[in-house]
Structure 1
Amino acid sequence: MIQDRGARGNAEVHPAPPAALELLQDVHLGLAPPRRSPARLAVLSGHYLYYHYGCDGLDDRGWGCGYRTLQTLCSWPEGQAAGVPGLNAVQAALEDMGDKPPRFRGSLSWIGCVEACLCLEHFGGPQGRLCHVPRGAGLHSELERLYSHFAGGGGPVMVGGDADAQAKALLGVCVGPGTEAYVLILDPHYWGALKKPRELQAAGWVGWQEVTTAFDPTSFYNLCLTSCNSEKQ
């Protein structure tokens, strides 16, 4: 099974976060398009919560970015915490369904898009569809797929790879003119008490990034694309 893992954090010492932090909704709102006159731009529909390192009081720096991104996916499309599993629940589910070995729960092991898709189905969240992007292609080959996904009402997309192992969420895509292309990235590696969305945007925790610099062309990538679960409608 192809797996992508969240990147290890740095060794800096930070104060512990509060036991529980207030989660912000739709932190990308208010961002200007990456170009004044983009050829085509599409952003996710619905609402989501921004899950990040330590948001529940658990210090998951260095291993939890995949779990946090999965939680963001689970909070869509209502933008509510109801039904979003905790990290222990995710690990227990993966162990119980046989995807992970015994004693996986309680570990500091990473997860990626493959595990995210399994958990979305297990917990009855939005539908997840897995897409593998071969090494060397980066994300350029999937721009049309991503544009169609967001333009068609799709939700956040989890992305992770091997050489580029930092799990993150994609919230939108901007294509053109010419060969220019941008993706709207939500980074779960933020640590500490949440700032206002505008401050998070200014610091780059959510924002538009050019595809050629945002992704490693030598890395493979997995994508987990979310769409509404018809059984919940």
Structure 2
Amino acid sequence: MSGGKIYKFIDTLQKRLQQWNFQNSKKGIIFGYTSALQNNCCYCMGCTENLNDIPFGNNLIGAYFLESFDEDSIVVFCNELSKNKTSGKLLVYNYNENIEKISLFDIKSKKLIDYTIEIVDHQVALEPLIQIKLDVNFKLNISFEDSTPTTNISSIIEQLNSWIFRLDMSSFKINGKEENLNGICIEDLYNQIEQFEELQDLQIPTNMKKKMIEKSQRQLRSRKSILQFKLDNNIEKSDSPEKFEENQKYDFIFNLKMFYLLQLQNNLQQLYKIFINSLTKMLTLMQKYFDDNPEKKCPLQIPQVVNFYEPNIYTHIITILYHDLDSIEIYKDQRKSLHLKYLVPMSRPTFKLANAIGRDFSGKKLMNVHVGLQSSIKNGQCYIVKGKYSYHHYNQDHMDDSGWGCAYRSLQTIISWFQIQGYIDIETVPTHKEIQQALIDVGDKPPNFLGSSKWIGSQEVCYVLSHLYDIQSKIIFINSATELLDKARDLIKHFSTNGTPIMIGGGVLAHTIIGVDFNEATGDVKYLVLDPHYIGDENLNNIHKKGGCAWKPVTFWDKNSFYNLCLPQVSEDF
């Protein structure tokens, strides 16, 4: 009936379609990829409103309809989508009033056929994929004579097919003329990497060095490390002017970064085409921006190519050209359009610049140090902090706060979460003195509190979050640590909705809870604890060995002490 094809729908896509408050997005397209290892298997990865918005490396798979559509309307829409094809099928996903209906549209007969999809965990669909980065520098000429911007972008687009791309840490290159690239797949690129910093200065026999290189290549492959390409003879990036003035000409190096999720089995000819097509699209959009805005007055900013990827929400990379970022309203409108275009819930600031791939707020601090830890609760289900945070602990930043600074460090970790997720626009988390000053400003502490080594607790953490960032928190009071057994469901609900780190304080100790592992049948529970009392270097193995981050039973806390938990709340706003 389906030509032997199996359509695998990822769980996060099904959830988005079923929970979407569709507004204008009542129908659209489903995109994904056909498995190179299983020709009869198609993974449905995402959805969008228009064909032109399919992420690079994905193809049209089908269509979605989110209210009652009669069969004729569905056929008309699918027929329009497939007008350039004479045969094949499109998956049709129809969801209305809690009823899910699946069918296939046969392009040749133009008829709908009943069908059943298979729902799979999104990690299953991501397993055959690898992330690739393209980092390109090129000369951009821009003139603002008579306030009308003119550029050399069109001539750059004409030259794209002659560009050659070199694999980073390798001499391997790809271009559009190499016919033999069809026989080489992306996975083979790991064997081309030969420049490893740890091996450069070693004076060892050639055969031994070769074995060490091969071992390093296997390690990169097993970790599915990002493969990076640069334009051959890539010129050094120069600082572009922050603002462009009227009646001036500029010649500078423009940096453009693109990210892709592609199958390891894709051949390099396909990869090259994806590079060229994506660069063409982004540069064309940039040229269109200048052409459509001749009245733009100086000074103005150059548009930015920005990449987003949040696999727990949407399992594909979204690349966008942001412009006029100095305008709050234009920035907001562009972000809103992405939420609507890809049916991403507008309850979180998913497409703020802070969430772009490559943005780093951690400095020298480690991020998400819990990754890789396994809980020991039998048949338990884990509920973990959503997003990223940086790990703050004793004696960082040349600050000796051993014995009194644990709550300050827990607060810094919480604030880093809000910063990294884009809820607050700050460059750095507050220092101990800035935290103390905030408590003085709200009237909670006297002036001599500034510069002291006095401990703070959960209530003070709530005051600072509210005063500095207008972040509201929920407080849970418990008379004994044993009551944490009864609070597992409250914390599960918190991580399932808000997803922020939780500060727990009692006695003279403070910790950060970033996860719950709970067995519904037995009531067994463990909490994932980020310990600010850790003293040591920023080494993940040491942090895990010394308990800087670990799963803890309720007995980890003193049963004879009372505790307060500060649960920071997120605002429902994109």
Shared topology, TM-score over 0.5? yes
Contact 1:138-1:216 at 8 Å conserved across structures: no
The residue number in structure 1 matching 2:42 is none
Q: SS of the residue aligned with 2:368? A: coil
Q: How big is each residue's C-alpha offset from its partner over 1:150-205, in whole Å with a ceiling of 9 and x where there is no partner?
A: 1224210000112xx3101000011125132100000001123211x233113211
Residues 85-124 of structure 1: pairs in structure 2 closer than 5 A: 85-124=430-469
**Residue in structure 2 matching 1:167, options 510, 513, 519:** 510
Once residues 136 and 50 of structure 1 are traced to their aligned partners in structure 2, the CA distance between those partners, rounded to angstroms, is: 24
Task: Answer with 79-88 or 66-75: which moved more.
Answer: 79-88
The alpha-carbon deviation at position 140 of structure 1 amounts to 1.8
Q: SS of the residue aligned with 1:168? A: strand
Aligned length: 207
Contact 1:137-1:217 at 8 Å conserved across structures: yes
The residue number in structure 1 matching 2:374 is 32
Structure 2: gaps spanning 5 or more residues: 1-362
Once residues 54 and 34 of structure 1 are traced to their aligned partners in structure 2, the CA distance between those partners, rounded to angstroms, is: 31
Residues 1-233 of structure 1: pairs in structure 2 closer than 5 A: 22-35=364-377, 37-38=379-380, 40-79=381-420, 82-124=427-469, 126-135=471-480, 137-162=482-507, 165-176=508-519, 177-195=521-539, 197-211=540-554, 213-230=555-572, 233=574
Once residues 470 and 428 of structure 2 are traced to their aligned partners in structure 1, the CA distance between those partners, rounded to angstroms, is: 8
Instruction: Pick closer, same or farther for the CA change 1:126–1:26 going to 2, 3 Å.
Output: farther
The aligned amino acid for 1:217 is: K
The alpha-carbon deviation at position 128 of structure 1 amounts to 2.1
The aligned amino acid for 2:395 is: G
Structure 1: gaps spanning 5 or more residues: 1-20
The aligned amino acid for 1:70 is: L
Instruction: Pick closer, same or farther for the CA change 1:84–1:25 going to 2, 3 Å.
Output: same
Contact 2:377-2:526 at 8 Å conserved across structures: no
The aligned amino acid for 1:166 is: L
Contact 2:506-2:562 at 8 Å conserved across structures: yes
Once residues 533 and 434 of structure 2 are traced to their aligned partners in structure 1, the CA distance between those partners, rounded to angstroms, is: 20
Q: SS of the residue aligned with 1:229? A: coil
The alpha-carbon deviation at position 96 of structure 1 amounts to 1.7
Which has the larger strand fraction? 2
Instruction: Pick closer, same or farther for the CA change 1:97–1:183 going to 2, 3 Å.
Output: same
The residue number in structure 1 matching 2:315 is none
Higher relative contact order (CA 8 A, sep 6+): 1
The alpha-carbon deviation at position 130 of structure 1 amounts to 1.6
Instruction: Pick closer, same or farther for the CA change 1:124–1:191 going to 2, 3 Å.
Output: same
Q: How big is each residue's C-alpha offset from its partner over 1:100-130, in whole Å with a ceiling of 9 and x where there is no partner?
A: 0121001110001000000011111643222
Once residues 481 and 406 of structure 2 are traced to their aligned partners in structure 1, the CA distance between those partners, rounded to angstroms, is: 23
Contact 1:42-1:172 at 8 Å conserved across structures: yes
Contact 1:25-1:79 at 8 Å conserved across structures: no
TM-score, normalised to structure 2, is 0.34
Once residues 365 and 481 of structure 2 are traced to their aligned partners in structure 1, the CA distance between those partners, rounded to angstroms, is: 36
Q: SS of the residue aligned with 1:111? A: coil
Once residues 433 and 529 of structure 2 are traced to their aligned partners in structure 1, the CA distance between those partners, rounded to angstroms, is: 26
Once residues 493 and 427 of structure 2 are traced to their aligned partners in structure 1, the CA distance between those partners, rounded to angstroms, is: 28
Instruction: Pick closer, same or farther for the CA change 1:72–1:125 going to 2, 3 Å.
Output: farther
Q: How big is each residue's C-alpha offset from its partner over 1:29-48, in whole Å with a ceiling of 9 and x where there is no partner?
A: 1111323531x321110111
The aligned amino acid for 1:27 is: V
Q: SS of the residue aligned with 2:399? A: coil
Instruction: Pick closer, same or farther for the CA change 1:44–1:51 going to 2, 3 Å.
Output: same
Once residues 133 and 191 of structure 1 are traced to their aligned partners in structure 2, the CA distance between those partners, rounded to angstroms, is: 28
Contact 2:534-2:547 at 8 Å conserved across structures: no
The residue number in structure 1 matching 2:188 is none
Instruction: Pick closer, same or farther for the CA change 1:136–1:198 going to 2, 3 Å.
Output: closer
Q: How big is each residue's C-alpha offset from its partner over 1:1-33, in whole Å with a ceiling of 9 and x where there is no partner?
A: xxxxxxxxxxxxxxxxxxxx8211100011113
Once residues 66 and 207 of structure 1 are traced to their aligned partners in structure 2, the CA distance between those partners, rounded to angstroms, is: 18
The alpha-carbon deviation at position 136 of structure 1 amounts to 6.6
Once residues 98 and 41 of structure 1 are traced to their aligned partners in structure 2, the CA distance between those partners, rounded to angstroms, is: 40
Once residues 136 and 167 of structure 1 are traced to their aligned partners in structure 2, the CA distance between those partners, rounded to angstroms, is: 13
The alpha-carbon deviation at position 229 of structure 1 amounts to 3.5
Q: SS of the residue aligned with 1:67? A: helix
Look at both structures and tell me which one has the larger radius of gyration over its CA atoms: 2
Contact 2:481-2:563 at 8 Å conserved across structures: no
Task: Answer with 85-94 or 118-127: which moved more.
Answer: 118-127
RMSD: 2.0
Once residues 217 and 138 of structure 1 are traced to their aligned partners in structure 2, the CA distance between those partners, rounded to angstroms, is: 9
Instruction: Pick closer, same or farther for the CA change 1:115–1:166 going to 2, 3 Å.
Output: same
Runs of 4 or more consecutive aligned structure 1 residues displaced over 6 Å after TM superposition: none
